[in-house]
C-alpha cells in the first residue's frame, strides 16, 4: 500500500513536472494579462502608460449606460450570431452533399476549404477590390447588365451583412470539413434500418443525421461564437468600423478606445466585460446544445 501510494505520488509529480511548462506558459501569457487588465480596468485615464486615477468600478457602471458601447455590443451580437448560424447552416448543407458519392468531391472540398487558410488581410484586400463601387468587377458586371451599381461596404444598411457574408465565405470550409468527418462517423446501419422502415431522405437527415451531429454542432458553434465575438480583423480591414459606425464591432470599439482615445482604463473594463459575456454565451451554448443523443 505504501509502495503503491509512493508510486502514485511519483506519477503525480512527473505529471505536474511535464505540465509545468504548459502551466507556466498559460500563467504568463494568458492569466497574468487578464489580472493586469482587470487591475487597469479599475482606473480612469492611462494606467500602464501614464496618468491614472483609481476609480473602483466606475468604468463598468459608465459602460453599462454608454450608448456607443450598447450599439457596438448589439452589432457584435448580430455579427456573431449571423456569421455562426450561416456558417454552420451552409457548412452542414455542403457537407451533406459532399460526404456522399459526388464526382470530384475532394477537389470541390479543397476549393471550398481554401479561403479558410488564407490570411484575412488578403481576404479583405480581395473583397474590397471585388466590391469596390467604382472599379470593382461585381459592379462592372451590374453595369453590363444595365443594373445600378452598389456600394455594399459603403452603405450603412448593407455593410454589416456584406461583412458577415465575407466571414461566412472564409470560414464555411472549416465547418464543412468537420461536418463531413462527423457524418462519415455515423453508422450506416442506422440509415439502412430507417430505409427499411420507409423513412424518406429528409426524414433521415432530420431524425438521424442532425441529432447525431449535435456534439459537432456544439463544438463548431462554441468555437465560432467565441471567435466572432472577439472579431476585429474584419471591420478593421474592410470598413474601419464605418460607414456611420454600422460595422463597429465591440473589439474594434475597445481597440479604438485604448489606442486612439488612449482611454486605457475604460478599454480594459470593456474588454473584461466582453470576457464575461463570452463565458456566459459559452455556458448557454453548452446548456442548450450539449444533449447526448443515443440510438
Partner 1 sequence: MPRRFLHGLGLAATTALLMAGTAHAESLTVYWNAGHAYDAYAKVIAEFEADNPGWTVQWERFQWPDMRTKLVADFAVGNTPDLVAEPGGWVQEFAQQGLLERLDAYIEADGSEMGYPEDWQDFSVSRNMLDDSYYGVQIHLTCATLVYNTDLLAEAGFDAPPTTWEEFREVAMATSTNGRFGFAPNPVTSYYWPWLFQNGAEFYDPETNTVGFDSPEAAEALQFVSDLIHDDKAAPLPVAGADYEGPQKLFTAGRAAMIITGPWDVTPIQTGNPDLNWAIAPSLTNKTQATQAGGVSLMIPAAAKNKDMAWELLRRFVSLEAELEASLANGMTMPRKSWAEHPDVQADEILGKFGACLSYARDITAEIRLTGKSAQVGELLEAAVDEIIYNDQPAQDVLSRYAQEANRMLAE
Choose one: 3-11, 208-216, 218-226, 236-244; the region binding partner 1 (CB under 8 A): 236-244
Residues 6+ apart with CB under 8 A from 17: none
66 sits near partner 1 (criterion: CB under 8 A): no
From 110, 262, 284, 288, residue interacting with partner 1 (rule: CB under 8 A)? 262
From 154, 191, 275, 282, residue interacting with partner 1 (rule: CB under 8 A)? 154
From the CB of 152, what's the least distance to partner 1, in Å? 10
> Which H or E run includes 45?
strand 43-45
Distance of CA 182 to the CA centre of its chain: 20
Choose one: 85-93, 195-203, 216-224, 238-246; the region binding partner 1 (CB under 8 A): 238-246
Considering the complex, state which of residue 99 and residue 268 has its C-beta at the smaller distance from partner 1.
268
H helices present in the chain, as ranges:
2-26, 32-40, 58-64, 67-98, 105-113, 120-131, 137-144, 156-184, 188-196, 201-204, 210-212, 214-229, 233-238, 250-259, 264-289
From the CB of 24, what's the least distance to partner 1, in Å? 20
29 sits near partner 1 (criterion: CB under 8 A): no
Q: Identify the CA nearest to 272 among candidates 88, 92, 49, 36.
A: 36
Residues that bind partner 1 (CB under 8 A): 46, 48-51, 128, 132-135, 143, 151, 153-156, 159, 238-240, 242-247, 255-256, 258-263
Amino acid at each position: 500500500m505504501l509502495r503503491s501510494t509512493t508510486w502514485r505520488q511519483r506519477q503525480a509529480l512527473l505529471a505536474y513536472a511535464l505540465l509545468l511548462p504548459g502551466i507556466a506558459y498559460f500563467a504568463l501569457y494568458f492569466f497574468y494579462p487578464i489580472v493586469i487588465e482587470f487591475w487597469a480596468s479599475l482606473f480612469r485615464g492611462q494606467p500602464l502608460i501614464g496618468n491614472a486615477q483609481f476609480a473602483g468600478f466606475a468604468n463598468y457602471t459608465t459602460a453599462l449606460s454608454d450608448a456607443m458601447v450598447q450599439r457596438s455590443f448589439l452589432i457584435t451580437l448580430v455579427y456573431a450570431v449571423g456569421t455562426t448560424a450561416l456558417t454552420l447552416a451552409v457548412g452542414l448543407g455542403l457537407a451533406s452533399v459532399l460526404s456522399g458519392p459526388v464526382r470530384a468531391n475532394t477537389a470541390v472540398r479543397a476549393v471550398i476549404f481554401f479561403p479558410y487558410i488564407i490570411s484575412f488581410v488578403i481576404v479583405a484586400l480581395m473583397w474590397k477590390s471585388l466590391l469596390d463601387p467604382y472599379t470593382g468587377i461585381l459592379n462592372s458586371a451590374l453595369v453590363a447588365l444595365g443594373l445600378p451599381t452598389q456600394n455594399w461596404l459603403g452603405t450603412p444598411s448593407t455593410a454589416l451583412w456584406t461583412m458577415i457574408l465575407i466571414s461566412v465565405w472564409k470560414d464555411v470550409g472549416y465547418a464543412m470539413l468537420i461536418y463531413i468527418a462527423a457524418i462519415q462517423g455515423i453508422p450506416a446501419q442506422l440509415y439502412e434500418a430507417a430505409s427499411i422502415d420507409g423513412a424518406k431522405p429528409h426524414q433521415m437527415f432530420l431524425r438521424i443525421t442532425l441529432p447525431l451531429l449535435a456534439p459537432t454542432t456544439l463544438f463548431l458553434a462554441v468555437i465560432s461564437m467565441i471567435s466572432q465575438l472577439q472579431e476585429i480583423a474584419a471591420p478593421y480591414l474592410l470598413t474601419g468600423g464605418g460607414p456611420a459606425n454600422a460595422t463597429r464591432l465591440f473589439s474594434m470599439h475597445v481597440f479604438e478606445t485604448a489606442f486612439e482615445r488612449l482611454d486605457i482604463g475604460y478599454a480594459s473594463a470593456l474588454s473584461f466585460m466582453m470576457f464575461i459575456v463570452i463565458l456566459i454565451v459559452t455556458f448557454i451554448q453548452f446548456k442548450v446544445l450539449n444533449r447526448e443523443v443515443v440510438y
